[in-house]
Amino acid sequence: MSSPDFPATLDPDRIPAHVAIIMDGNGRWARAQGKDRLYGHWQGYRTLKQIVYAADEIGIRYLTVYGFSSENWRRPAEEVEGLMRLMLEAMRAEIEELMQNGIRVRVLGRLSQLPSDLRREFSDAMERTRENTRLTFNLAINYGGRAEIVDAVRHLAKDLLEGRLSPESIEEETLSARLYAPDIPDPDLLIRTAGEMRLSNFLLWETAYAEIWVTPTPWPAFTRDHLLTAIADYQRRTRKFGAVVEEDDLS
Ligand code: FPP
């Protein structure tokens, strides 16, 4: 059942359970405004806040965003430090409202390499929101898709060496159970802003069957309406998961 203000353009029974977003274009957007890159990231944070609550309101269960990739350390030190400070301040500023709205926060990535104050803030947020039951908001930070698979393989190799696994018993599930968030279903829809048509090392394993939607709009200019358009487009697609779909089913 949908509420009276549920978007009329969407089918409430086919809302993607998990939406993942590559939030790209902060720098280009800022440059076009004659501002520095960090200004773009701060505006990107404002967009992210709108999208978290919009996603929850339309019934998305999981939202995963690429906040800082393992390759982003190669940016100028000033930008990296600015992004770390932004994440720290954003987490501190948002935690109460996230709690009040029942949002569960998870942070995925190699967190041990982050500054200790940020790591502590993330751990506290995860701990405080652990029992929340509305949207699960996953922040991928110091995240790389290949690194995630490597970490899962290391875990698996340890279990093998210590006799908890045999080579013959290894299936896809054996590896997926060792990824950063094994309890979360794979993304149904992957959105990328600012027009590039690539995965950029994001959720490589998990996006095997995700529908991809790319918009030229840079992340700071992305709105709830763009999210609704992406979902409406997703709802018009036929997901095959490698199978044949008969013409009759293409209604
Ligand atoms: C890509 O734009 C964006 C990032 C590397 C950072 C994403 C971070 C935010 C949106 C702020 C999020 C806030 C929190 C709390 C996680 P880009 O800089 O690569 O843009 P460009 O391709 O135009 O240079």
Check pLDDT > 80 for residue 153: yes
**Known catalytic membership, residue 188:** no
Q: Residue 92 and residue 85: Cα distance in Å, rounded? A: 11
pLDDT, mean of residues 92-101: 98
Q: Residue 188: its pLDDT value, please?
A: 98
Total of domains in the chain:
1
Minimum CA distance residue for ligand 1 atom 10: 44
Cα dihedral sign for 24, 27, 31, 33? Answer: positive
| Domain annotation covers residue 182 | no
| Domain annotation covers residue 5 | no
Minimum CA distance residue for ligand 1 atom 22: 25
| Domain annotation covers residue 76 | yes
Check pLDDT > 80 for residue 232: yes
Q: Closest ligand 1 atom, CA of 28?
A: 23
| Domain annotation covers residue 250 | no
| Domain annotation covers residue 6 | no
How many Å lie between the centroid of ligand 1 and the Cα of residue 44? 7
Check pLDDT > 70 for residue 249: no
Please pick, among 24, 56, 138, 188, the residue that the annotation labels catalytic: 24
Instruction: Report the CATH number at residue 129.
Output: 3.40.1180.10
How distant, in Å, are the alpha carbons of 16, 193, 206, 223 from that of 239? 12, 22, 15, 26
Residue-range definition of the domain harbouring residue 54: 20-145+188-235
Q: Residue 134: its pLDDT value, please?
A: 98
Which tens digit of pLDDT belongs to each residue from 32-87?
Answer: 999 999 999 999 999 999 999 999 999 999 999 999 999 999 999 999 999 999 99
**Residues 6 or more apart in contact with residue 30 via CB below 8 angstroms:** 36, 37, 38, 39, 40, 41, 43, 220
Rg (CA), the chain: 19
- The pair of structure tokens assigned to 185 is 């279903």
| Domain annotation covers residue 56 | yes
How many Å lie between the centroid of ligand 1 and the Cα of residue 39? 10
Pocket test for ligand 1, best of 21, 22, 26 (most atoms within 8 A of CB): 26
Whole-number average pLDDT of the chain: 95
Contact residues of ligand 1, CB 6 A cut-off:
23-28, 37, 41, 44-45, 48, 67, 72, 86-87, 90, 139, 194, 219
Amino acid at 64: T
Q: Which residues pair with 211 in a beta bridge?
A: 189
Which tens digit of pLDDT belongs to each residue from 177-220?
Answer: 999 999 999 999 999 999 999 999 999 999 999 999 999 999 99
| Domain annotation covers residue 48 | yes
Task: Kindly report the pTM of this predicted structure.
Answer: 0.95
How many Å lie between the centroid of ligand 1 and the Cα of residue 26? 5
**Are the CB atoms for 174 and 156 separated by under 8 Å?**
yes
Minimum CA distance residue for ligand 1 atom 6: 67
User: What residue has token string 């509420």?
Assistant: 3
| Domain annotation covers residue 66 | yes
